[in-house]
Amino acid sequence: MEYWERNGILFIPRLTKRSDLDYDLALLSNSAKTVIAPLKVDSQNLQLQHDLTDSQCSFRWSADKEAIEGIGDHDVVICPAFVSLDVPELRISSASHGTPFDTLVGRIIELGSKVSGLQLGESVVTFHPPIVKTRLIIHRSRICQLPDSWSAPVASYVSLSLATAWHVLFHLARLNRGDHILIQVNSKPLCHFLVQLAQQLGAIVFLVVDSEEERILWQELKGILASRIFNSQSSILGQPILRATGNIGVKIFITTCCGTALNDLASCLAEDGHLIDLGRKIQVKDLSRKFFTRNITISCVDLSRMTDRTLYDLLGEGLDHVRAGHLHGPPKPTITSIAELNNVFQSARSGNQSDNLVLSFNEGAMVPMLHALPPALALNPNGTYIMSGGLGALGLVIANHLVNHGARHLLFLSRSGAVTSEQKDALRNFRDRGCKVDSVKCDITNANQMKKAALICKENHWRITGIIQCAMVLRVRTPSIFIRLKH
Ligand SMILES: NC(=O)c1ccc[n+]([C@@H]2O[C@H](COP(=O)([O-])OP(=O)(O)OC[C@H]3O[C@@H](n4cnc5c(N)ncnc54)[C@H](OP(=O)(O)O)[C@@H]3O)[C@@H](O)[C@H]2O)c1
């Protein structure tokens, strides 16, 4: 026995170790392990696969099998440069948009024929890419251009916050000049845009901060009065804030908090006020019965549930304000390499990751990678493939593969020619599939007969491109190494 088959798996004894062949076989059976290899963002068609469960997560790069040459008229191809993780989503472990990534910024490398207003090499931003690829095809409606004043890492860090702030203040809060607004949000860029936009609308901003440094920053750099900045460490904030408004209360309260802190802060809301929840953690039991007797409106905001059109319109409108110079100095992110993705993701999940991190797709980053399958065999349709002994059991199987992979002329050499019905059927099948088939009777151990076969090739101008030698008569002698084989 020269091979052994069980449950569809073929076991073939080999005397020489071939690790490259083993790796290809493992790739084919989906059992290959990743290797750490340099990421070639510019020259390889790769995709980033993720495998996320409640207990673990892993990312790996592999060949982008769906990479296609042509793109749609309204598509844009971008090469990723920076991406931010959807950290808050991860903490509740069910990102509604199905991707662990929040905002991706990339460089345009190809434009569809009907795309206007964009240029090759320009940086653009897109939200929640369902999959990350080195050659990412996106519809024109799902990208926005970066303002000149924003770098690519800043854009990947703050774009979603800008769209959120714009939506909250202009579409939900409907602020008027002189309105009191209380802002308590954990995200730095979100707080930054909410305060700046609210100030621009002439609202009076009250702010809850987490530290003395933040208080100084808002007071000195952003011009908020010290009497309107409150520290989240204080056990009671609602009543002091109410007093600071001259007991009028705040018209709008934007928050990411929940539990007793929420109930306390909500007590400074005016009658007919509006509580806008950005943390998506509020529960009815967090709020006292009295809260529900005061005509207060509650809005819960989740931009990931908005239609693409609404989301990119919001970002576009927010970016117009950046271009007009109304919004200054967005906070800067910390940049780390995409090589750290698995570690960063693990930390983010356990809540240990700062939320100002963006990942850079730096060329040559050492990343976990599944090497690509070898390219499919493509045989020369103008060549002649000689199969000595090819009319036997093995030869006909190999011949079938040759035809599958593009061979269009097979020449069989054997002493008896095609005589059995199985051989004749096989040759007919090859011809039906467009492959020319010739069979020459010839003993390959006989030099004269081989010369005659060579002459036939020459006279017919057949270009011998490959020779597969299957002509053998095996005499099994015991004990054979194969008889002792278990697998
Ligand atoms: N089958 C397998 O799974 C397997 C696996 C590994 C290796 N192999 C080896 O591969 C070879 C082919 O296997 P197979 O199963 O296809 O054997 P096979 O069915 O017996 O086929 C052998 C073919 O070789 C031809 N042949 C024999 N001596 C020849 C010669 N002097 N000149 C021209 N043609 C000659 C035979 O045709 P004529 O008698 O008409 O000349 C026959 O068509 C064997 O040596 C086998 O040990 C086979």
Any idea which of 144-148, 374-378, 447-451, 479-483 has the lowest mean pLDDT?
Answer: 479-483
State pTM to two decimals: 0.70
Whether ligand 1 lies within 6 angstroms of the CB of 393 is answered as yes
Ligand 1 atom nearest residue 417's Cα: 40
- Nearest CA residue ID for atom 8, ligand 1: 394
SS3 of residue 272 by DSSP: strand
Ligand 1 atom nearest residue 394's Cα: 16
Any idea which of 2-11, 13-22, 103-112 has the lowest mean pLDDT?
Answer: 2-11
Ordered structural domains, the chain, with CATH: 35-150+330-369 (3.90.180.10), 171-300 (3.40.50.720), 380-469 (3.40.50.720)
Share of the chain above pLDDT 70, in %: 89
Give the distance (Å) from ligand 1 centre to CA of residue 393: 7
More confident residue, 353 or 171: 171
Whether ligand 1 lies within 6 angstroms of the CB of 36 is answered as no
Tell me the best of 394, 422, 423 to mutate to test the pocket of ligand 1, counting ligand atoms within 8 Å of each CB and taking the most. Answer: 394
Most confidently modeled range among 35-39, 198-202, 405-409? 405-409
- Nearest CA residue ID for atom 29, ligand 1: 471
Mean pLDDT score, 152-172: 93
| pLDDT at site 93 | 34
Residue 88: pLDDT above 70? no
Element (H, E) at 162: helix 152-166
DSSP annotation of 167 reads I
Whether ligand 1 lies within 6 angstroms of the CB of 395 is answered as yes
Residue 188: closest CA among 164, 168, 224: 164
SS3 of residue 94 by DSSP: coil
DSSP annotation of 217 reads I
| pLDDT at site 89 | 41
- Nearest CA residue ID for atom 43, ligand 1: 392
* pLDDT tens readout for residues 275-325: 999 888 888 888 888 889 889 999 988 877 788 888 899 999 999 999 998
* Spatial distance between the Cα atoms of 462 and 108, rounded to a whole number of angstroms: 49
The per-residue pLDDT of the chain, averaged, comes to 86
Tell me the best of 397, 474, 475, 477 to mutate to test the pocket of ligand 1, counting ligand atoms within 8 Å of each CB and taking the most. Answer: 474
Give the distance (Å) from ligand 1 centre to CA of residue 294: 92
- Nearest CA residue ID for atom 21, ligand 1: 392
More confident residue, 377 or 469: 469
More confident residue, 367 or 328: 367
Mean pLDDT score, 185-211: 92
Give the distance (Å) from ligand 1 centre to CA of residue 76: 55
> What confidence tier does 90 reach under pLDDT thresholds 50, 70, 90?
very low
Give the distance (Å) from ligand 1 centre to CA of residue 414: 9
CB of 165 closer than 8 Å to CB of 144? no
Any idea which of 53-57, 101-105, 148-152 has the lowest mean pLDDT?
Answer: 53-57
Give the distance (Å) from ligand 1 centre to CA of residue 384: 20
* Spatial distance between the Cα atoms of 385 and 429, rounded to a whole number of angstroms: 17
> What confidence tier does 92 reach under pLDDT thresholds 50, 70, 90?
very low
| pLDDT at site 330 | 83
> What confidence tier does 139 reach under pLDDT thresholds 50, 70, 90?
very high
Give the distance (Å) from ligand 1 centre to CA of residue 388: 9
Task: Give me the residues paired with residue 369 across strands.
Answer: 35, 61
Which is it for the CA torsion 426, 427, 432, 435, positive or negative?
positive
Please return the burial class of 233, using the count of CB atoms within 10 Å of its CB with bins 0-12, 13-18 and 19+: exposed
* Spatial distance between the Cα atoms of 462 and 454, rounded to a whole number of angstroms: 10
Whether ligand 1 lies within 6 angstroms of the CB of 416 is answered as yes
> What confidence tier does 482 reach under pLDDT thresholds 50, 70, 90?
low
Ligand 1 atom nearest residue 444's Cα: 32
Residue 313 corresponds to which amino acid? D
Residue 5: pLDDT above 80? no
Tell me the best of 15, 445, 470, 477 to mutate to test the pocket of ligand 1, counting ligand atoms within 8 Å of each CB and taking the most. Answer: 470
> What confidence tier does 481 reach under pLDDT thresholds 50, 70, 90?
low
| Half-sphere exposure for 336 (CA within 13 Å, toward CB) | 15
| pLDDT at site 259 | 87
Give the distance (Å) from ligand 1 centre to CA of residue 471: 4
Residue 375: pLDDT above 80? no
170-186 exposure pattern, b = at least 16 Cβ within 10 A, e = fewer: eeebebeeebbbbbbbe
Whether ligand 1 lies within 6 angstroms of the CB of 415 is answered as yes
* pLDDT tens readout for residues 52-73: 766 667 888 988 877 666 789 9
* Spatial distance between the Cα atoms of 453 and 455, rounded to a whole number of angstroms: 5
